[in-house]
Amino acid sequence: MQLTELNAISPIDGRYRSKTISLSPYFSEEALIKYRVLVEVEYFIALREADLPQLAKIDKSIYDSLRAIYKNFSTEDALWIKETEKTTNHDVKAVEYFIKSKFDGLGLQEFKEFIHFGLTSQDINNTAIPLST
């Protein structure tokens, strides 16, 4: 179903859509997913910066490539996460799987278990949601 003024959840996405469209990059579900990815990636970098012995082999020069995961985040990435969520039945777990797939491409397979390490979904959501403001 295509979004119209008549089937939108609220007038903000319906008749006022032309006035609020510029807010989409901040308040849409896609934006929230991107913020979740940002939080997970930056947390992983913080773990590396904490000099955990298990992450000592990671060269810090990879940080730009890690940050590119969220800086270059696309609608296709959000769709990949939403499709994965159908299997996991969990939004943040799908984000974790997305980042793990990106780690494969960066040669960081042996460190994937440190994605979301020691965190709950609420930790991610309670940090991601304020980033939208």
Instruction: Tell me, yes or no, whether 114 lies in a domain.
Output: yes
Residue 13 reports pLDDT greater than 90: no
Where residue 101 sits, what CATH number does that domain have? 1.10.275.10
Residue in the block written with tokens 């042996």: 110
* Tokens encoding 125: 């959501």
53: three-class secondary structure by DSSP: helix
Instruction: Tell me, yes or no, whether 39 lies in a domain.
Output: yes
User: What pLDDT, on the 0 to 100 scale, is given for residue 20?
Assistant: 85
**Entry pTM:** 0.89
Instruction: Tell me, yes or no, whether 127 lies in a domain.
Output: yes
Q: How far apart, in whole angstroms, are the C-alpha atoms of residue 127 and residue 131?
A: 7
Residue 60: burial class (beta carbons within 10 Å; 0-12, 13-18, 19+): exposed
Residue 5 reports pLDDT greater than 80: no
Closest CA to 37 of 14, 70, 79: 70
* pLDDT tens-digit map of 49-99: 999 999 999 999 999 999 999 999 999 999 999 999 999 999 999 999 999
